Structure 1
Amino acid sequence: MTNLLKSLVLLSVLSCAFAIRCYQCSSQTDPLGSDNCGAYKAFNKSQNIAIECNSDESHMPGSFCMKVVHQSPRGFIWDGRWRQVIRQCASVSETGVTGVCNWGVFENGVYWEECYCVDDECNGSPRSITASFAVLCAAILPVLIARKLVA
């Protein structure tokens, strides 16, 4: 019984340690003439604060970060194209895979890209591609605990 208790304590500590922090912004809500979410210029991490995904501040609770880009082939804003960027926490990836970017083109010609990652503040990079130690630990931890309980 004490091994089970130790395992539960370990899992609770690890779950707190793996709580993820993501940037949360949208170019749709940027004030006129500003680019706080990095749609047209480099994303400024010092201008934005990463939030805890399971806190009250989060617009969407989740266990990983997401960055979405939509870009039109026409529409004249700054560089000649309309562009929208959304950075936020996410709980479900459409493909079920994190650490990758998916992209395509809608029927109206708008290019889209969605990147999912599982490291703190990973959606603040130009492309949110990461290899995550947390995913590896989440896969191996149950095996180690099961071995310990059986032994």
Structure 2
Amino acid sequence: MFRFTTKDLCKFYWVYVTIGSILLLSNLGVDAIKCYQCSTEKDGKDADNCGAYRSFNHSEHIAVDCMGEEANTPGTFCFKSIQQGPRGFIWDGRWRSVIRRCAQVSERGISWSCDWGYYENGVYWEECYCAEDQCNHAIKLTTKYHHIAFIVNIIILSYILS
């Protein structure tokens, strides 16, 4: 049979506490990401609800749960696409198109950043992907506290097991 010393039992106790903490903390924030969704294609005449010609006003929009029924496209991160006509200035007839939505797969292979370029017809395009709630109104970088706690628990566990 196995015989455990008090020191062994103490180590097991802390291993279970640490593993339990890791499991608990890894489940924090498991809710689906929330992203803004709109499109200039759905704006009415002379309307700019998606921020094509003026700043996007996030207080006028409610971010949707990307795994919920309201999401047009289910996903695990947010997406923003801008296309702009080849003319020089907004007031000289240049058009802009903006799409904000949830996304599942990056169409260009990039994630959590922006990519841009020009089509052969001179249209400028920009696509941004991000993985924080409501981040598709502007790119921002934040760190969740449970990620830090998770790393601290891993360090404690490796110390206990050594």
The two structures share one fold, judged by TM-score above 0.5: yes
Relative distance call for 1:14 and 1:33 in structure 2 (3 A) is: closer
Aligned residue in 2 for 1:53 = 66
Structure 1 residue 28 and structure 2 residue 41: aligned? yes
Give the superposition deviation at 1:13: 3.0
TM-score for both structures, normalised by structure 2 = 0.71
Identity of aligned residues (%): 46
Alignment length (residue pairs): 143
Relative distance call for 1:132 and 1:91 in structure 2 (3 A) is: farther
Matched letter for residue 95 of structure 1: G
Give the superposition deviation at 1:105: 0.3
Aligned residue in 1 for 2:111 = 97
Aligned residue in 2 for 1:124 = 137
Rounded Cα–Cα distance in structure 2 between residues aligned with 1:116 and 1:31: 26
Give the superposition deviation at 1:23: 0.7
Give the superposition deviation at 1:30: 0.5
Q: Deviations over 1:43-97 (max 9, x none)?
A: 1112211111111111112222111000111499755201100011112222332
SS in 2 for 1:123: helix
Matched letter for residue 131 of structure 1: L
Aligned CA-pair RMSD: 3.1
Rounded Cα–Cα distance in structure 1 between residues aligned with 2:147 and 2:16: 23
Give the superposition deviation at 1:108: 1.2
Q: Which has the higher contact order (CA 8 A, sep 6+)?
A: 2
Aligned residue in 2 for 1:65 = 78
SS in 2 for 1:59: coil
Rounded Cα–Cα distance in structure 2 between residues aligned with 1:57 and 1:110: 31
Structure 1 residue 137 and structure 2 residue 147: aligned? yes
Larger radius of gyration: 2
Match of 2:157 among 143, 148, 151: 148
Aligned residue in 2 for 1:13 = 28
Aligned residue in 1 for 2:93 = 80
Runs of at least 5 residues in structure 1 that lack an aligned partner in the other structure: none
TM-score for both structures, normalised by structure 1 = 0.76
